[in-house]
Amino acid sequence: MSATNVYGYMLTLLIGGKLIKGLETTGLKIKPNFESILLKEDEGVPTDDFIDYDQEMPFSGKTIEMDTGESTTHEDFETIRAAAKTGATVSFSYGRMSAGEKITYGNAKITDYSEDGGSEKKHASFSGALRAIKGSVTDGTYPTTTEEA
């Protein structure tokens, strides 16, 4: 079996099952949480007991408004901004969005959001982060048909 290159553009983040218009970068950060345990049987040597993990997904892009015809397939920086202001829970999918590819999905809160605009005639930028809600994250594969989604 030959190695498969997974390029950065292949990894994406969907919010509410929709693409993010202007999205340029995505990331995934998993932080395992441990509790130190002291047991007599371990003769006073502490051991780390795995409890759970925190999952965060940073994202950033350019401020491009979606077309009216894209409202069923895309979110844009303005809809993400509105969701951040209300503390809304959003569904997410992260990974390669091709039939049969591995993804992680669940529900999350937008924990950080910002926009930056300069004085040049260029797009402004946005960035933010999602924090997965514990117990809602599942690892699976991207559906092969729309009926599976």
The helix/strand/coil state of 123 is: coil
In this structure, whether the domain defined by 8-141 belongs to CATH 2.30.110 is answered with yes
Q: pLDDT (tens digit, 0 to 9) for every residue of the chain, 149 residues total?
A: 678 878 777 778 888 888 888 889 999 999 999 999 988 888 888 999 999 999 999 999 999 888 888 888 888 889 899 999 999 899 988 988 888 889 999 999 999 999 998 788 888 999 999 999 999 999 999 887 654 44
51 class by beta-carbon count within 10 Å (0-12 exposed, 13-18 middle, 19+ buried): exposed
Q: What pTM does this model have?
A: 0.79
Domain ranges of the chain: 8-141
Give the pLDDT of residue 126: 93
Strand ranges in the chain using DSSP code E only, listed in sequence order: 11-15, 19-20, 23-26, 29-37, 47-62, 74-75, 89-96, 102-116, 125-132, 138-141
Measured CA distances, 62 to 21, 49, 67, 130 (Å): 8, 42, 15, 18
Give the pLDDT of residue 14: 85
Give the pLDDT of residue 129: 94
